[in-house]
Every structure is written in structure tokens, then in C-alpha cells.
Chain A
């Protein structure tokens, strides 16, 4: 099956392109890659990147080289819930190492690994600009801050509950 945005999403693509002067459509590449990643399963397959290239009339390599540069773009499959734990200086001072350890204890996954049921992927990331609210992680569009073991337990439960509700 050939993948495609919905007509609503294609309108959004046009809106993104219209923010730039004529002839500068390539500037919309990163915003469109975000949209593509959110739409097609949380990561960018070659097929998805080729599709984005066709929308912007770019050579596929122009998309690959950008997608591979930015750490938010996932080039391999991830779980339904991507837990991105910050581990840079200020978070480390406030115990981010123990957060990573606790997630391993709870879910049996280390950085870069996905649970067998495909629910969770753990990723360690560098500074997310939440240093005053450390330790923290990002889940989707949101930050979860001042983390404790109890908060991680609750977070994991709510993710499971959400996916059970969807099934």
C-alpha cells in the first residue's frame, strides 16, 4: 500500500509551505518531517522519507541527510510510548541515573531498547531545557518533571490504560 497523508494533512503541508517566500519550499522540510513521523508510527522509514521528498520535490538524499542529523527523528521503529530521559549535568545532579535504572527495573529495557509488547522504548537524551524541574523525561509532546519512582509507576500505568482503551 502506498502511504499518503490525509487531505486535511495535505492542507497542513500547504499551510507550512506558505510560511516561506516563493522558491523556498525546502524550509518546510523539518516541520513536514515532524508531521510525517507523528502520522506514520513514530519513526521515519525510507518509504516515508521518499514520500516527503516527493511532496517538496526534493531529491530523497536531501531528506535523508536532514532526518539523520536531528535527534528527534527516529530512523528505526520505536514503541508506542517513547520515554526520553534527560541525563545531562543538571538532571544528573538531581538523580537522572536512578530514573534510568528504575525504568530498567520496571520494564526491563535499557537505553535504545523496546519492550517485547512494543509499548515502550527508552531513549536517553541530552538537555531538554527543564533543568529547574529535574529529573525529567519527555513523552510525546509533553514534559514529565520532578520525577520520582511513584510518578514513573503512574506514568507506566496510564500508558497501559490508554492503549487498553484503544484496543
Chain B
């Protein structure tokens, strides 16, 4: 069983309350940081830990922090991105709902390191009840002297506020999030300038995911070097994986990134296998935006190596034969599922969530949705598959923010690996209304490396 750093105490009775959390060793990292470390030393520990952003992009957190501009007399802000909206992802919700003080603790230390006296949690609007949980935790922390003026006599002041969004996936993109926090439409900004220079209200700002900031707690408690010893290579520490789809035990799991994908899906400690004796067909391992992989490429890389649950191994083979760790939203599909229908629902999702600023995304996402609907309902033509490929290629890289890429990748990967299933929908339109394509050859051993 792997080590747990974040969720170890999540099941302790009443861990949501301050008293229990504190008794379990909570807020030690704040004491250690504010009493024994300078802000720069905290940042150094984060760099040493090798922590990578847990929201999806996997960018090194310490490096992101070091980009923060520090002009004198200008406030700086830490904004926690709790706009968890990537289909398949529900890990931050679990963390905030069950062990909210972990986030608050991580935020105080992070705010100290970054020099933010006023930090915000931007939470998706639908998580209304979690907003109350967080506000209660913040109030408890304030009453016990962990927030407010001159915390622990360090001279450092900090307050934390929760801001609810109102239903917009795009607000998970950091500049759209900042626009929304400023009370505007969530339209992503053109970069540069990056938020580290001009962020919230034009001031230097760091935006980090919930899980990233929570990881500050073990990093400070154990030290960056100790944290970096967990995991493998550049995948240090632990990662929360939210597993869903056709598995026996959907839920949130903390893994130390040394286990294989096969173990994660089939062992009883994690997903517990596929229900009703069905077979594994495909999986999207890191949230809906990352490439879908058929069973054979999921369990083994194109080189024939065992695929592991970490950043490097999941990305092995690039987009030709690999995928990404992404947000850790792990979506499993069994052999009764239809890849075309699933891809259609994702295309509809991205069309719905496109902010409409950039024409390739605004027009392209709707176009892809319509074509996929035609294919799924037996009205597709064989030229549609190439047309889809062409559209996604013209969206990718041609938009202000990564939503365009996020919309293009699932379609591209579905065609790349499941083209025969799309073609079958065109050649057998009536049959495709009655049954699904099945497992086909997607779990067969690979004969040759995929080009």
C-alpha cells in the first residue's frame, strides 16, 4: 500500500472540525514555516520537493512561484483554483469536503511564501455546500489565530475568502478565473503578461490548484527533499486520482505514482476491476481533455513496457501512443460502451463551455459536435471522419487559451485509435443504432509499435 500524505487522515471522525484536525497534527506546517523559515526558504522547499501543478498541466510549482513579480508597494495575491470542472475530475471536491483545513493550512503557508495578505479560493458555483464547509473552516482558523493580523507574532497578516463561480468550465483557466473573480465574464486573457506579473486587479498573482496547495503541508512538515523521495523520477510525491466510469469502486484514491495502470484498475485496493464480468475497452486517464487510449496501449506502452500511473509513463509515446496524467480524472470504459457516443458527449461539453472569443474554438467545437451526432445517429458519411480530423487540427494551437486544444485532443485521439469504430458507424448505420461496436481488437497484443 502506497503512502498517503493528503488523505491519510481524511476518514478520521470529525476531521472537518478544527479541534480534531489540530489534535491530529494540523497546522504544524504553519508553525514551522512562520517561526523557522523565511518566505524564500519556503519557496526553496517547494522547489526541492519537485511538486508539479496538480490541476492538469503539471508545471513545476516552485518555478511558477519564482516568476512572481515583487514590485514594492504593490499587493500580491494567491488564488486557489477550486473550479474543478474537467469531466472525470472530482478530487478537489473530496479534499475540500472531507478535510477542508488541509487546504486552509496549505494556503496560509503559501500566502506567507508569496507575500499575499489577501488570498482567495475560487470554487465552482455548483459546489455550494462546500463553500459553507470552507467558510466555516476559515472562521475556525481565524478564531484560533491562524488568520488575521500578525499571525503567530510573525508580523505576517493574512485573510482568506471564498468566491463562488456560477457554472463555467472556462473559469478553470487561470486568466478566465481572474476575470471572473473581478466580476466579469470568464474570457481568458491574452498572454503575456502572465498572472505572475499582471494578475488579479493587475497585481502579481499566483494561481494554483487545490491539491497543489494542500501538498504544501507535507512538503513543509517533512521537508522538500523527503517529499521528493516519494514517487519516481519527476513524478514526486503523491497524486489524487478520481476514478469513474465502468469500475467496481469509483472514488478518490491517493497514489504514490509507483503503481501500474493495470494494478490501479484491477486491484481491490483501488478501482476493483470492471463490473459484471465485462472487459476493459478504453480509458481516458487524466480528465476528458487528454487522449483516450485503447486497452492494449493503456496497459503497455508501444515499446511493450508496463505503463505506470505517473506523469512520464502515461505520456510515453507522445500523443501517437500515449496520453497524459492531466488532472487525474480517470475514466474507464468497458466493452459495452460506444467510443463515438462518448466522444460526442465530450464535444458537446466543449461547445457548451467555449467562451466564444476565438473563432476556431467557437465555430469548430459546434461543428465537431454536429458531425459526431450525425455519425452516432447513423447519418454520417465516410468523409465526415476526415473532416473531423481536419477541424480538430485547425482548432489546436490557434486559440487564446488551451480550451481549444482540450476540445481537439479527445476527438483526435478517438479517431486515431478507434477509426474502425467510426467507419463502422458509417458503413452499418442501422446496426449501430441497435448495438455497440464492442471490444473489437482494442485489447489485442500490439504487433508493431504505433507510428
Contacts and interface: CB of A to CB of B under 8 A. Distances in A.
Contacts of A65: 184-185
Interface string B85-99: 111111001000000
Contact of B126 (A33, A90, A128, A133): A128
Interface in A16-45: 19, 21, 24, 26-31, 33-34
Contacts of B284: 89
A114 interface: no
A128 B87 CA distance: 8
B245 A93 contact: yes
Interface in A64-96: 65-66, 69-73, 87-90, 92-94
Contacts of B165: 30, 70
A88 B164 contact: no
Interface string B178-192: 001111111000000
A68 to B, nearest CB: 8
A134 B244 contact: yes
Contacts of B345: 87-89, 92
B87 A89 contact: yes
Contact of B244 (A70, A87, A131, A138): A131
Interface in B242-262: 242-246, 250-252
Contact of A88 (B127, B184, B349): B349
Contacts of A26: 182-184
A47 interface: no
B89 A30 contact: no
Contacts, number: 137
A26 B349 CA distance: 29
A73 B333 CA distance: 33
Contacts of B263: none
A27 B182 contact: yes
A142 interface: yes
A54 to B, nearest CB: 15
B166 A21 contact: no
A88 B183 CA distance: 27
A89 B331 contact: yes
B346 A19 contact: no
Nearest to B182: A27
B201 A21 contact: yes
A142 B184 contact: no
Nearest to B251: A132
Interface residues of B, number: 55
A138 B126 CA distance: 8
A150 interface: no
A125 B181 CA distance: 23
B317 interface: no
A134 B345 CA distance: 15
Contacts of A30: 125, 163-166, 180, 183
A43 to B, nearest CB: 13
Contact of B89 (A31, A71, A73, A131): A131
B84 interface: yes
B353 interface: yes
B321 interface: no
A130 interface: yes
Contacts of A24: 182, 201
A129 interface: yes
B163 A71 contact: no
A129 B244 CA distance: 11
B349 A71 contact: no
Interface in B348-399: 348-349, 352-353, 355
Nearest to A127: B87
Interface string B116-138: 00100000111111000000000
A131 B163 contact: no
Contact of B245 (A28, A31, A90, A142): A90
Nearest to B186: A69
Contacts of A29: 183
Interface of A: 19, 21, 24, 26-31, 33-34, 65-66, 69-73, 87-90, 92-94, 125-134, 138, 141-142
Cβ-closest 9 pairs across A and B: A70-B166, A72-B167, A132-B250, A71-B167, A29-B183, A131-B244, A26-B183, A141-B128, A127-B87
26 contacts: A21-B118, A21-B201, A26-B183, A27-B182, A34-B164, A66-B184, A69-B168, A70-B166, A71-B167, A71-B168, A72-B166, A73-B167, A88-B348, A89-B342, A89-B345, A89-B346, A90-B244, A93-B331, A93-B333, A127-B349, A128-B126, A129-B85, A129-B126, A131-B88, A132-B243, A132-B251
Given A30-B180, A31-B164, A34-B164, 16 more contacts: A26-B183, A71-B166, A71-B168, A88-B349, A89-B346, A92-B345, A93-B245, A126-B87, A126-B169, A129-B127, A130-B93, A131-B87, A131-B89, A132-B242, A133-B90, A142-B129
